[in-house]
């Protein structure tokens, strides 16, 4: 898999020095999700308050794409409104489908580095794993509506 050099460096930085890795001490929403095709596993925790994601942390193991994406996703959604976070899941999915999206909508610039993954269909699920976990947790928590 060949990614642009700069992008690869950003991904490796998040993989080697993951942001928000660990557990939330107090009660938090927890979502476990796997990507069996690659063997990636994530356990995501979010602390929600007043329709906002106050805190987001993850544990897990897997390939560099899946772990870097989890690092970026948690860094992105911390402090965001639940509604915004769910919009970003759609935006990220669109990006992974190869659609041109407005990258400015992502509060974290590093996410751009994952854009190239769209060219490698086998790896798309690695990149979307953490985002799907976030979506699953929030949709489950707010199934009555936001
Ligand atoms: Zn993977």
The total number of structural domains in the chain stands at 1
Domain residues for 47? 3-141
Give me the pLDDT at residue 80, please: 97
Instruction: Measure 34 CA to ligand 1 centroid, in angstroms.
Output: 10
Cβ atoms of 63 and 3 closer than 8 Å: no
In whole angstroms, how far apart are CA 10 and each of 79, 81, 100? 22, 26, 20
Cα(68) to ligand 1 centroid in Å equals 10
pLDDT of residue 1: 62
In a domain, 146, yes or no: no
Q: What is the pLDDT at residue 5? A: 87
Q: Is the dihedral of CA 100, 105, 106, 108 positive or negative?
A: positive
Q: Which residues surround ligand 1, an ion (CB under 5 A)?
A: 38, 40, 62-63, 66, 126
Contact 72, 49 (CB under 8 A): no
52 in a structural domain = yes
Q: Is residue 39 part of a domain?
A: yes
Q: How far is the CA of 36 from the centre of ligand 1 (A)?
A: 9
Encode the chain (146 residues) as per-residue pLDDT tens digits: 667 888 999 999 999 999 999 999 888 999 999 999 999 999 999 999 999 999 999 999 999 999 999 999 999 999 999 999 999 999 999 999 999 999 999 999 999 999 999 999 999 999 999 999 999 999 999 887 76
Q: Alpha-carbon distance 117 to 95, whole Å?
A: 9
- Residue 129 included in any domain: yes
CA of 48 to the centre of ligand 1 (A): 28
Q: What is the pLDDT of residue 26?
A: 85
- As a residue count, the chain comes to 146
pLDDT of residue 142: 87
Q: Is 89 part of any domain?
A: yes
pLDDT at 34: 98
CATH of the domain at 23: 3.90.1010.10
48 is a domain residue: yes
Ligand 1 center to 16 CA (angstroms): 15
**Residue 71 in domain:** yes
User: Per the domain annotation, does 84 fall within a domain?
Assistant: yes
Task: Give me ligand 1 centre to Cα 66, in Å.
Answer: 5
């Amino acid at each position: 898999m060949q990614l642009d050099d700069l992008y690869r460096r950003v991904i490796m930085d998040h993989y080697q020095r993951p942001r928000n890795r660990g557990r939330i001490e107090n009660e938090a929403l927890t979502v476990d999700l796997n990507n069996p095709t690659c063997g990636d596993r994530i356990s995501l925790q979010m602390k929600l308050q007043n329709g906002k994601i106050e805190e987001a942390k993850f544990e897990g193991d897997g390939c560099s794409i899946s772990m870097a994406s989890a690092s970026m996703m948690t860094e992105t959604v911390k402090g965001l409104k639940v509604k915004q976070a769910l919009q970003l899941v759609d935006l990220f999915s669109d990006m992974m489908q190869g659609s041109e999206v407005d990258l400015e909508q992502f509060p974290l610039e590093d996410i751009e580095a994952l854009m190239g993954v769209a060219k490698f269909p086998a790896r798309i699920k690695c990149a979307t794993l953490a985002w799907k976990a976030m979506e699953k947790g929030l949709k489950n928590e707010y199934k009555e509506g936001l």
